[in-house]
Structure 1
Amino acid sequence: MSSRSETALFPRLAAIKGLIPGILSILLLTGCMFNRETDEDDGWHSLFEEPHRHYQNIGAKYQPDATKMDWFRHGLKLAFGLYPGREHLPPDMALPIKQANHQFKEALTATNRITWFGHASFLINIGNRRILTDPTFARYIGHFPILTKRLNPVAPNWRQLDRLDAVLITHADYDHLDLTSLRMLRQIYPRLQLILPAGTTMMLEDFPKTAIREMNWYDNETVGSISVTFVPAIHGVRRPPHELDSALWGGYLLQSGGRKLYLSGDIGPGTVYRDIASRFAPIDTAVVPIGGYEPQSFNRAFHVPPDGAVDIARQLGAKRVIASHWGTFPLSEDTGKEQKQAFLTASTKAAPRKHVMKVGESRPLWRD
């Protein structure tokens, strides 16, 4: 081998060698090498073995059929930033920070306002209470080495809040349960109430002296005068290294002053939403996810496309629907531009009025 060939080859080998620990970690986290808890004598599982699930969906249209190798490829794309990024966002994705902060300051002195921080993080100013959903304020989410960076800064400045009454967590996936964000919030607002799906507290890692309420489907809690009901969703929980579906998942139905707000969480297709409708319809405002659905061959059991999300809002008799879970973290093949366009052009019978908020925007919660 010539000296020139050796010079070119050795840095490449060194680079590949440097990736090996990360790739092995991804194999471990996505379950492709072995399951941490097993009944087999040798402690190893086959590549495609289906692990035990603690919780189950009700009325799901599809059963999860992605293999561990599919999850490994997904983990690689997350870890190496291979999903569509910032260059694929709409040009008007976010408000300028000064404008966002000004709107937020005004919203905090008003009633019945909603503010979007990006992804599934909303501040609900309702019934003289301030409720935050699925806060993800850190620059990265995930578990090393699978870390995903935000595509746009957090806006507005959430530290403008002089009081925070409750935090709602829909499920324990890393893009919804971010421990870094919860620790920051608890440090500033030590009296906040934390409402979680059943089984989630074990994942919190040292949250002493925090008021925590775990909820099963259709359990009810009150925050001041606001009724908060945890409602079913078709999804699941994948939070390595914890076992698959070892905590529950769902959405929330908030009622105040005769009005109803539906926060869906992540949703796959199925019939369970008819049951929610039978109990709570009609809904004034629904907040539903419009991203994370491509490719459908991988995501169809967990994430409806935008037209499916609009249809679920329609089933609940929603007057208006607000888009969430899009344009913030690169988690799938669908781009921010595609997510927004598909949502705005979604056509279903008797569809509710559709609204796309900009990151940092505050607006009225109800529209008559």
Structure 2
Amino acid sequence: MADCTLTAQQPDHASPQYRGGKFRNPVRMHKTGFLGALRIVYRMLFDKPRDTAPSKPVPVRAIMRQQLLVAPNNSVFRLGHSTILLKLDGQFWLTDPVFSERASPFQWLGPRRFHQPPISIADLPPIKGVILSHDHYDHLDHAAVLALAAKTEHFLAPLGVGDTLVKWGVPAAKVQQLDWWQSTAVDGVRLTATPAQHFSGRGLADGNQTLWASWVIQAGGQRIFFSGDTGYFKGFKEIGDKYGPFDLTMVETGAYDPQWPDIHMQPEETMQAHIDLRGKLLMPIHNGTFDLALHAWNEPFDRISALADARGQTLATPEIGQQLNLRHIPATGKWWQQLL
């Protein structure tokens, strides 16, 4: 079924990314420092602008199971934040499934959803595979993983994240964990874990104990890139040279700030990453669902839309739940402007 993969029973961190007891990015990272971190926390808790969350309900197009079953191959449904449902070769795949009310270790505290998912986990059809980019709470949802475990055949994760899934109760036989540039094939769909520039951890004492990754997904003649979370780095050009051109790039555009320049991208960097990847259609993700930064909630959409117009790039900004078909590049409107 797979090649060049590590299973969850082998927590082997003999990886070029694993040095000194932690996973690390290839380049030296910006250090905020203790006082800088305190300033960020203070602003996030007590000095946030009012426009970091929408003042009106975010539009959501409800998805029915029957709609998914009859949808053509190469259909894409954005469920919120970085959670994307893909229909490839007649099977369904989910990226970074987060269905909980809050992206937090607690469901009574932390960033709360702007909108509900357009479909529940119970109503989803059987899932061929879940693709995970890293272990942060807005990408790895404990409750969602447990709810998906019985109806999902495969979980694909970066090194160490697979061990977390097994600890939570996902059968080890369902889990594969990959290092950067390792690939696996699942029923005709080829997946490659590719580099990203980020960090990991779910608590105070587990920083960078698991790897982070982007993903290349190849199926049915289509090439799709999923960025996970990442700063801008030269790896996009290398991924584009090795695996591009991409029919669709799903690249983070949101939760950015000059105070954390290495781990998230400004919209201008998102656009450059898409161009480096040789992407045909860009769908900006990591926005519109949770309040995770200090910018206006609609700013990522406005900035990336203006950049696409200026640079002649094709952009898809679907409403939550809206069906896209990669065989026919869709026209999507600026729905967020109706909420201003």
Per the normalisation by structure 2, the TM-score is 0.82
- For residue 222 of structure 1, what is the amino acid of its counterpart? A
1:272 aligns with 2:238: no
Q: Which residue does 2:266 correspond to in 1?
A: 305
Q: Secondary structure at the match of 1:149?
A: coil
Superposed CA offset, 1:248-283 (max 9, x none): 111111111221000111120211112111211211
Change (3 A) 1:91 1:164: same
Which shows bigger deviation, 319-328 or 271-280?
A: 271-280
Change (3 A) 1:67 1:143: farther
Q: Which residue does 2:25 correspond to in 1?
A: 57
- For residue 335 of structure 1, what is the amino acid of its counterpart? A
Structure 1 alignment gaps of length 5 or more: 1-51
Change (3 A) 1:94 1:84: farther
Q: CA deviation at 1:148?
A: 2.0
Q: Which residue does 1:14 correspond to in 2?
A: none
Q: Which residue does 1:222 correspond to in 2?
A: 185
Change (3 A) 1:76 1:353: same
1:314 aligns with 2:275: yes
Residues 231-250 of structure 1: pairs in structure 2 closer than 5 A? 231-250=194-213
Identity of aligned residues (%): 21
Structure 2 alignment gaps of length 5 or more: 1-19, 330-340
Does the CA contact (< 8 Å) of 1:199 and 1:246 recur in 2?
yes
- For residue 329 of structure 1, what is the amino acid of its counterpart? F
Change (3 A) 1:183 1:280: same
Aligned residues, how many?
A: 307
Q: Which residue does 2:33 correspond to in 1?
A: 67
Q: CA deviation at 1:303?
A: 0.6
- For residue 23 of structure 2, what is the amino acid of its counterpart? Y
1:342 aligns with 2:303: yes
1:127 aligns with 2:92: no
Per the normalisation by structure 1, the TM-score is 0.76
Q: CA deviation at 1:228?
A: 0.6
1:257 aligns with 2:214: no
Change (3 A) 1:70 1:179: farther
Residues 1-150 of structure 1: pairs in structure 2 closer than 5 A? 54-58=22-26, 60=27, 63-75=29-41, 80=45, 83=48, 88-89=53-54, 93-95=58-60, 99-102=61-64, 105-110=66-71, 111-144=73-106, 147-150=110-113
Does the CA contact (< 8 Å) of 1:108 and 1:125 recur in 2?
no
1:293 aligns with 2:256: yes
Q: CA RMSD in A?
A: 2.6
Residues 320-359 of structure 1: pairs in structure 2 closer than 5 A? 320-347=281-308, 351-359=312-320
Q: 1:113 and 1:90 mapped to 2: Cα distance?
A: 31
Does the CA contact (< 8 Å) of 2:88 and 2:220 recur in 1?
no
Pick the structure with greater CA Rg.
1
Which shows bigger deviation, 68-77 or 271-280?
A: 68-77
Does the CA contact (< 8 Å) of 2:146 and 2:168 recur in 1?
no
Q: 1:269 and 1:351 mapped to 2: Cα distance?
A: 21
1:196 aligns with 2:161: no
Choose between structure 1 and 2: higher helix proportion. Answer: 1
